[in-house]
Every structure is written in C-alpha cells, then in structure tokens.
Structure 1
Amino acid sequence: MKDVTNNFLETIEPVYTPGTINFDFEAFDKAIQKAVSELSNEQLDGLEYNEIKKEITRYKSLYDNLERKRKDISKVYKNPLVEFEANLKKSYTPLKGLLNTLREKRDEIEEHQKMLRVDHVRYVFEEKCELAGLDKDTFKEKYNDFSLKGCFRTNKIELKKETVEKIDTLILAEYDRLEEYKANIDMIKEHTHEYELPAAPYVRELQNGTPFVEVLRQMKKDRDTAIEVKRQAEAKKQAEAERLAEIEALAKQSASEDIKAVNAETGEVIEDIKPAEETPSKSIEPYKINLLLTFHGGEKQWYQFVKLLDDNFVNYEILK
C-alpha cells in the first residue's frame, strides 16, 4: 500500500491574510453627538423650511457616502471568500467519493471479521453443548453478545479466557436446570401414578412455566377432590342398594302375609285367605271377590301390594 504519510494532501490548507480597515470611530461619534446637540428641538423650531432641507441633504450625503464605502470594502472581503468556498465545494466532491469508497471497504472488512467471530463463538458453544448433552442451538441468541471485539484476543480469532469462563458458566447453569427439570418430570409421573391421576396436564403446566411447588400443590388438591368424588359415588351406590334391598324385603313380606277378608258392612273378618296356588289346568275361570283391606304398614305397603297384584296379573278396582 502506498505510503501517504506527510504528503501534500495531509499538509495543504487555505491561508488567510487579514487586511486592515482604518476609520476614526471616536472622532466620528463626537462629531455626530455635536451635530445632534446643535439641532435640538428648540433650535429646529427656529430653522426655516429650506434650512431644514439643507441639513437633511448634508447628513444624507454623509450617510450615503459611508454606506457606499462600506459596501465597497465588503466586496473586497466577501468576493474572495465566496470564490474560495465555491472552489472548495467543487473539490470536495471527489474527496467525499474517496471517503465513501474507503468506508464501504472498511465496513466490508469489519463485517467479514464479525462473521468470523460469530462462527467461532457458534463453534465453541456447539462443542460445549455437545459435551454437556444439550441441544447445539440452545444458546444461538447469545452468539452476537460474545462476538464483540472485546471478547477476543487482540488481532486474533480466539476468545479471551474470561469469555470462555462466562460461556462455561452458562452451559453448566443450563445443564443443572435441565437435570432439575427432568427430575421434576419424573416426580410428577410418580405422584400421578400414586394419586391415580393423568400425568400429561401437570407436565404441560411445568412446561408452561408454572413453579414445580405449585404443580405439586395442584396435584394434591386434585387427588383430594377425586377421593371425595369417589367416596360420594360409593355412598350413593350403597344407599341405592340398601333402598332396593328394603323394597324387595317389604315386597316379600307383603306377599307372605295372609290376606284377611272383611265384611264391608260389619267389619268382621270372614276368613283367612292365602295366596292362590297355581294348579295345572287348561282353563281357569276368573274369580271375583269384594274385599276391604287394611294396610298397617301405611301407604307404602299399599303400593307394594299393588305391585304384587300387577306382577301376578290380578285385576283390581278401587271403589269409592
């Protein structure tokens, strides 16, 4: 590369030689003050119209002459500056183009170096993840953080010792976290098996970020609820079985009791009638009897008796 140290382009600069403008401001200010004092309001009242016009012409001529001179001097100073700025602006164009070209090349080199650093960081993370039994992409979002120039040794694609130690700390922390997570999963499955609950819902809760202690607390709560529901179902089933057994016992009792015929007018017992026994016969004539029955077991016994009649195909009629 060409050595441009201390060459012409590094030393060139514009040179300004200041000029001097001579004007006696002190004498000018005094003369103006004197003129102002000589033309006070009272003195102006004593002047004729033509005299006032004469004074205006006098001082206007002074003002115009000074202003004209000022503009002439301004041109002498401004014209070189305007010309210099115009020429410099024109010369800046290729200089700016050169700077942009150099900057693009610099950025290209820096981007390439950054990619090399990122690739090296990726390699280090993936190698350490493989040794720890972790997914190789576990820390992919950390690559840019560890690819800064300050993380590498000077002018080398090699991480500093302290950078490697930080990476090791991250790897170990993630390894411990996963081991604890696996242990928690195993414990959830063990408890759900013991509690007779499905494991999948509680595993999902843990995966969604619910603290393990909260998952365990919910499991125990669900277990207690399931036990109570089961207890209530069994109690209901037992009560239903007892109710059916009681009905069956009452029906049998009612069927085995003698049925007494009572005279409807006197209320006297006429005879004891036992349940009719079936006799093998080809044809049985219907048999009718008017009875007044008294059920000491109450209305419930009546319904049981009606059921017995229905079950044995006995027609009956309630007389009012």
Structure 2
Amino acid sequence: MKDITNNFLETIEPVYTPGIIRFDFDAFDAAIQAAVSELSDEQLDNLEYNDIKNEFTRFNSLLTKLETKRKEIAKVYKNPLTEFESNFKSSKEPLKEIIDKLRAKRDEIDEHHRMLRVDHVRSVFEEKCELAGLDKDAFKDKYDGYSLKKCFKDKKMELKKETIEEIDALILAEYDRLEEYKANIAMIEEQALDYELPAEPYTRALQNDTPLVEILKQMKNDRHAAIERKQQAEAKRQAEAERLAEIEAMAKQSANEEIKAVNAETGEIIEKSKPIEEATINSKEPYKVNISLTFHGGEKQWYQFAKMLEDNFVNYEILGENK
C-alpha cells in the first residue's frame, strides 16, 4: 500500500514564540497603596468639591491610560491567534474528510470481523449444546459477550483455552439444571399420582420458579383437604342412605301392621298375616289387591310410603282419603 503521508505532515505543528510584557507590579502596587492611604474616608469628607474632582480626574486618567495600553497589548497577542485559528479551520477540512472515510471503512471491516467471531462463537455453543442434548439456541444471548477480541487467540479465529473452559462450565451448569428440573417434574407427577391430584398445576408452579419444597408441601395440604372433602361427602351420602332406609323401614312396618289378609270364601279378615315380603310368590303375572291403609304418621308418612311403592314399580289407585 502506498504511504499517503509524508514527513512534513507527520512533523508539522504550530510554533508559538512568547512575547515579553514588562511592568513593575511591585512598584505599581506600592504607589497605589500610598495614594489610597492619603485619601481615607475621613480625609475625603474634608476635601472641597474641586479637590475631589481633581483627584478623581487624576486617578481615573491613570487607570484609563493603563487599560488602553492593556488593550493594545491584548490586540497584538490576539490577532495572530485569530488568524491562525481561522486558517487552521479551513486547512484541516480535507484532512477531516479523509479521516471520516478511513474511520467508516475501518468500522466496516471491524464489524465484518466481529460478525465472523460471533458466528464462530455460535458454532461452538451449538456443537456443545448438541453433545449435551440441550436446545442449540439456549445460549444465543451469550454470543456477543464471547465475540470480543480478548476472547480469541491473537490473529486467529480460535477461542482461547480459558474462554472454552467458561463455555463448558455454562453448558454443564445448564445441563445439571435441566436434569434437576426433569427429576423434580417426575417427583411431582409421581406424588400427584399417589395423592390422586392433577399434576399440571404443580408442574406449572415449578416452571414459575416456585421452590420444590413449597410445591410438595402444598400438594400434601391439598391431599389432606381432598380427603377431608371426600370424607364429608361420604358421611353425607351415608347419612342420606340411612335416612332413606329408615323411611323405607317405617313405611314397610306401617304397611305390615295395616295390611290384613281376607278369606276369599267367607270374607273373614285374618288379623295375623305374614308380611308381604315374606310371602313366596312364584307367578310373575301382574297381581292386584284392594287394600285400605291408615297412616298414623300423618300425610307425610303416606308420601313416604307412596314413594316406596313407586320405587318398587307398584301401581296404585287412590279410591278415597280420610274415610
């Protein structure tokens, strides 16, 4: 590549030759102090108007003369600087333009090299993830961090040994985490099966970072609550069954006490008849009897008895009530 610089551009720099401004500040300060000491506040009060004007004119003329000289000296120093800055601003523009172009080209090449490093890091992670049985994109947020030049060997598209070791540690930690997660899922599912609970709410809690200990504790509490609800439902069912059995027994007892057999030939009522359920009936043809019942338990007992008849598929006809 042709060297576009030369010795002149590399060595040129502004040269400043300082001037000398001579002024005896010590003598100036002493003279001022002497003049001021002669014009104290008390002395000023005793001066006539014309004297005050004269003193004011004298000191003000002195200060004006010094300020005028200062400005002349400042102008002598300032003009070369102003001229230098104006010429430098104009002359440096071409140099700034070439610097901007070189910077843009440099950045373009740097970005290209960076993308090559990122691609290399990606391939390393994907290969190691595949060997570990992990999702190949599990560490895509780490690519940029490991694409820095400091992570690569000098002038080589190859990661340093310590960088490889860091990546291996990340892969191993993620593998261990997933294995622990799978084991926890299996434990939750097994516990849910033993407890007769749905596993999904508890596995979802694990996915939301709820500690396993808390999940198992909640499952135990839910199991106890489910058992308690089941026991309450069973007790309620049993109580209902006992209530219905008691109603049925009362109805049967009432029927047995009131039903009396009649002699078909003489019409005589037989007081001591066997309960209907003890009779041996072989025929399956419809059987019809005319009976008169009295329910000492009142109308409620009649409805309970009627329900028993319906439950046993016995048709009945009411011929009259309270007769």
What TM-score, normalized by structure 1, do the two folds share?
0.74
Distance across 1 between alignment mates of 2:304 and 2:62: 143
The answer (yes or no) to whether the contact 1:258–1:274 under 8 Å persists in 2 is no
Distance 1:190 1:25, change over 3 A: closer
Residue from 301, 304, 307 that aligns with 1:304: 301
Q: CA deviation at 1:203?
A: 2.1
Distance 1:64 1:242, change over 3 A: closer
Deviations 1:196-242 (A, max 9, x none): 22222222222222222222222222222222222222222222222
2:166 is aligned to 166
Deviations 1:22-66 (A, max 9, x none): 4455666666667777888869978895x8877777666655554
Deviations 1:265-292 (A, max 9, x none): xxxxxxx8869xxx989xx9xx99xxxx
Distance 1:316 1:46, change over 3 A: closer
SS in 1 for 2:145: helix
The answer (yes or no) to whether the contact 1:258–1:273 under 8 Å persists in 2 is no
Distance 1:294 1:226, change over 3 A: closer
Deviations 1:101-147 (A, max 9, x none): 22222222221121111111100000001111111000111111211
The answer (yes or no) to whether the contact 2:132–2:175 under 8 Å persists in 1 is yes
1:137 is aligned to 137
Letter in 1 for 2:173: A
Distance across 1 between alignment mates of 2:194 and 2:183: 17
The answer (yes or no) to whether the contact 2:248–2:304 under 8 Å persists in 1 is no
Letter in 1 for 2:216: L
Letter in 2 for 1:119: D
Letter in 2 for 1:184: N
Letter in 2 for 1:177: R
Q: CA deviation at 1:171?
A: 0.8
Distance 1:171 1:316, change over 3 A: same
Distance 1:117 1:317, change over 3 A: same
Compare 143-152 and 101-110 and name the one that shifted more: 101-110
Deviations 1:145-192 (A, max 9, x none): 211222111122111111111111111111122122222222222222
The answer to whether structure 1 residue 87 and structure 2 residue 94 are counterparts is: no
Distance 1:56 1:193, change over 3 A: closer
The answer to whether structure 1 residue 117 and structure 2 residue 124 are counterparts is: no
Residue from 297, 315, 321 that aligns with 1:316: 321
1:206 is aligned to 206
Letter in 2 for 1:316: E
The answer (yes or no) to whether the contact 2:192–2:198 under 8 Å persists in 1 is yes
Distance 1:233 1:88, change over 3 A: same
Distance 1:175 1:47, change over 3 A: closer
Distance across 2 between alignment mates of 1:32 and 1:81: 34
Compare 96-105 and 152-161 and name the one that shifted more: 96-105
The answer (yes or no) to whether the contact 2:118–2:144 under 8 Å persists in 1 is yes
Distance 1:61 1:203, change over 3 A: closer
Distance 1:301 1:243, change over 3 A: farther
Deviations 1:87-113 (A, max 9, x none): 112222222223222222222222112
Distance across 2 between alignment mates of 1:258 and 1:46: 150
Distance across 2 between alignment mates of 1:77 and 1:120: 60
1:236 is aligned to 236
Distance across 1 between alignment mates of 2:225 and 2:153: 62
Distance across 1 between alignment mates of 2:81 and 2:59: 33
Distance 1:85 1:198, change over 3 A: same
SS in 2 for 1:315: coil
In structure 1, stretches of 5+ residues that fail to align are 261-271
Distance across 2 between alignment mates of 1:306 and 1:37: 133
Distance across 1 between alignment mates of 2:52 and 2:191: 117
Letter in 2 for 1:304: Q
1:250 is aligned to 250
2:106 is aligned to 106
The answer to whether structure 1 residue 2 and structure 2 residue 7 are counterparts is: no
CA RMSD for the aligned pairs? 4.0
1:265 is aligned to none
2:278 is aligned to none
Q: How many residue pairs end up in the alignment?
A: 294
Distance 1:126 1:54, change over 3 A: closer
Distance across 2 between alignment mates of 1:59 and 1:307: 133
Distance 1:252 1:280, change over 3 A: closer
Distance across 2 between alignment mates of 1:177 and 1:81: 69
* Superposition map of 1:182-221 within 5 A: 182-221=182-221
1:269 is aligned to none
